[in-house]
């Protein structure tokens, strides 16, 4: 059994069974607190997540350009984001998906990296893999080991996943309609 050493002036707190762990728990003490199930984000306490999966909620039939829902990365270093399409209609419809991050918790947005593109027909899938590593088999090479297989478009970034992010969807063409059936986020690693 390993021993945890707590510095002087810091108390250890373990949540009681009557407390359900959740995001944004208030800091109830003026002293610094170490909690083995949560990490302090500077304002509130967040659960430790590790690898976990969620969805963005950016689904449904879409006919015009829109911004996806704001997402919070609690403690992961990266993510694999998958966008799946259902029915697509219109004359020369195109969907381009861009990644944005916010340095000020959702007030200002900046684009990062190349876009996911070439989405033009029904039942296509696009993927964005973000993580602080070289995903290729050879340093500096295209990530040949990540073949698209059944994916229409895949983009790979060698960077950390920002805390606050979203996807933006640019729709073009004549009377275009894209049914987005799922936007899955598989977070990678953590604190």
Highest-confidence segment of 38-47, 131-140, 157-166: 157-166
Please state the pTM of the whole predicted model: 0.73
- Class of residue 163 by CB neighbours under 10 A (exposed 0-12, middle 13-18, buried 19+): middle
Q: Which fold has domain 52-188?
A: Jelly Rolls (2.60.120)
Residue in 55, 47, 96 with CA at minimum distance from that of residue 74: 47
pLDDT at residue number 1: 44
91 CB-side CA count, 13 A: 2
Dump pLDDT digits (tens) for 94-131.
Answer: 999 999 999 999 999 999 888 988 899 999 999 998 88
CB 159 within 8 A of CB 135: no
Four-CA torsion 136, 137, 142, 143, nearest 10 degrees: -50
Domain ranges within the chain, ordered by starting residue: 8-48, 52-188
């Amino acid at each position: 059994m390993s021993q945890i050493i707590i510095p002087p002036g810091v108390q250890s707190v373990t949540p009681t069974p009557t407390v359900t762990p959740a995001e944004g728990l208030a800091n109830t003490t003026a002293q610094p607190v170490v909690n083995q199930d949560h990490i302090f984000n500077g304002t509130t306490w967040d659960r430790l997540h590790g690898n976990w999966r969620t969805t963005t909620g950016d689904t449904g039939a879409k006919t015009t350009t829109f911004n996806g829902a704001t997402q919070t990365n609690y403690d992961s270093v990266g993510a694999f984001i998958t966008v799946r399409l259902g029915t697509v209609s219109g004359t020369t419809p195109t969907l381009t998906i861009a990644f944005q991050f916010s340095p000020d918790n959702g007030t200002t947005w900046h684009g990062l990296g190349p876009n996911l593109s070439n989405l033009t027909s029904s039942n296509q899938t696009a993927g964005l893999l973000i993580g602080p590593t070289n995903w290729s088999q050879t340093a500096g090479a295209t990530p040949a080991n990540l073949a698209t297989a059944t994916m229409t478009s895949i983009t790979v970034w060698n960077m950390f996943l920002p805390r606050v992010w979203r996807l933006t969807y640019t729709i073009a063409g004549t009377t275009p309609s894209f049914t987005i059936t799922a936007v899955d986020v598989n977070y990678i690693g953590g604190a």
